[in-house]
Amino acid sequence: MRSTTAVALTLIAFAPFVQATEPFIPSSPDTVLLQRVPGAAKALRSTRSAIVSGDSATRLASAQAALDQGHRTGDPRYFGQAQALLGADWTAPAPSPVARLLRATLLQQRHDFAGALRDLDALLTADPTNAQARLIRASIRMVQGEPLQARPDCAALIGQAGLLVTATCIGSVGGLTGQGSAALQAIELSLAREPQAPVAIRIWAQTQAAEIAERLGDAPRATEYFAKALADSLATGENDVYLKAAYADFLLIQGRATEVQSLLAGQTDFDPLLLRLALAEDQLAAAGDARAKGAAALHLNELLARYALAATRGDPPHRREQGMAALHLQRDIVAALQLARQNWAEQREPADARLLLQAAKAAGNQAAAQPVLDWMKQTRIEDVRLQPLATALGTMP
């Protein structure tokens, strides 16, 4: 790890330094500086001391635990810890299957889809029955906007995974390829048939069902599934950032900004949720709420500071969210269109398509929207949020 490579001085912003308060000495030894989950750090340290002994199974189990905790809490530090725990496996050409699956998961987490696919392809070549690898590969294909390529992996899950998992995987593909109604029905049936399925899988299936219903324009059903998924998620005590962001996006389209506010209250630690909160406040401000206007401005500033820090750190950028902020909050159409285009080159989910269509429409740039219009034609996706935008762009002079 120790290297003395000289790096060129990068002209990075000083802003993160300026944000700190003057250093101080607290008044009393009992002053509480930070609240944490009791014992969590100690557990972490004791697993680490086990790793020093060189036991690879313990090391990989700890990496897996860190990864799981990252997903449960939405806190990126755990992914960095998991990567550190992988040690030499992180750069090895062909680590053990367990290590390789962990590495693939971390790679897709940081949007290195090509790297993740390389590992997943190798894993599935060696062991076609690796259901986890299949599921991750299928979902990467879907995120990349290639649902038809995901279908064989979902189909291969039949007999290797439970009914609900298989049906949700296949249903997700159907929901992106013009078979939304049938897909929704299949997921609903499987939810009813497998009430004993683990709650995490039920939450996933319900979220997928909600999103398919939303795209089909069935708002009551979407509301129903989002609410069910959220209730299950709250019951497990996990923080499902993706679910909340998707639900908030749905509510924002419906103009239900006050519901977004209550959904996301106290969740501003999470950048995607802070963004949705600011979007909700912006909607309320447009309707004449003066207090919401101030809050939106404040939250936008906070968000931009976080994006700046992430850039200074050299983190992989989150262009979809930065594009949404640029388009709807900063109202910088040029920047929004550029971000939307770059984002579309990386990931192609319906939300990414929507961002590019909106930005292209705002910029009056039909050509910029063409890749999305082609993609819509090719996948035959049904989406009531995309169709009107596509029609408007198609009839632009």
Partner 1 sequence: MKPLLRGLGLLLALVSGGAQAHSGSTAYLQVQVEGSHLQLRADYALRDLDDALGVDGNEDGELTWGELQAASPVLLAYLAPRFTIMGDASPCALEASPVVQVTEHADGPYAVFRFSAQCAGSPRQWQFGSTALFEYDATHRALLRWQQGAEFSSARLTPTSNSLVLNGQRGALDTLRNYLHEGLAHVWSGWDHMLFIAGLFLPAALRREGRGWQPVARLGPALADAVKLVTAFTIAHAITLCLTALGVVSLPTRLVESLVALSVLFAGFNNLVPLAGRRMLFALAWLFGLIHGTAIAGALLELGLPASGRLIALLGFNVGVEAAQLLLVGVLVPLAFALRRWRGYVPAVLWPGSTLVALAGLIWFIHRAFAMAWVLPI
Site for partner 1 in 231-260 (CB under 8 A): 240-243, 245
Binding mask 152-191 for partner 1 (x = CB under 8 A): ---------xx--x--------------------------
Max CA-CA distance within the chain?
70
| Span of 26-34, 324-332, 363-371, 385-393 interacting with partner 1 by CB under 8 A | 26-34
347 binds partner 1 (CB under 8 A): yes
Q: 90: closest CA among 162, 1, 5, 182?
A: 1
Closest separation in Å from C-beta 256 to partner 1: 21
| Span of 278-286, 326-334, 347-355, 383-391 interacting with partner 1 by CB under 8 A | 347-355
Residue 187 CA neighbour count, 13 Å, CB half: 29
Instruction: Pull the structure tokens for residue 191.
Output: 């939810």
Enumerate residues 73-132 that contact partner 1 by CB under 8 A: 73-77, 79-81, 83-84, 90, 105, 108-111, 131-132
Closest separation in Å from C-beta 87 to partner 1: 9
Closest separation in Å from C-beta 12 to partner 1: 5
316 binds partner 1 (CB under 8 A): yes
72 binds partner 1 (CB under 8 A): yes
Helical pair 77-86 and 97-109, crossing angle rounded to 10 deg:
150
Torsion angle, alpha carbons of 170, 173, 177, 179, to 10: 30
Residues 268/302, Cβ–Cβ less than 8 Å: yes
Closest separation in Å from C-beta 17 to partner 1: 6
Distances 65 to 71, 138, 234, 295, 392 between C-alpha atoms, Å: 10, 23, 21, 37, 48
Residues 356/341, Cβ–Cβ less than 8 Å: yes
Q: Which is nearer to partner 1, 250 or 270 (CB)?
A: 270
360 binds partner 1 (CB under 8 A): no
Residues 103/89, Cβ–Cβ less than 8 Å: yes
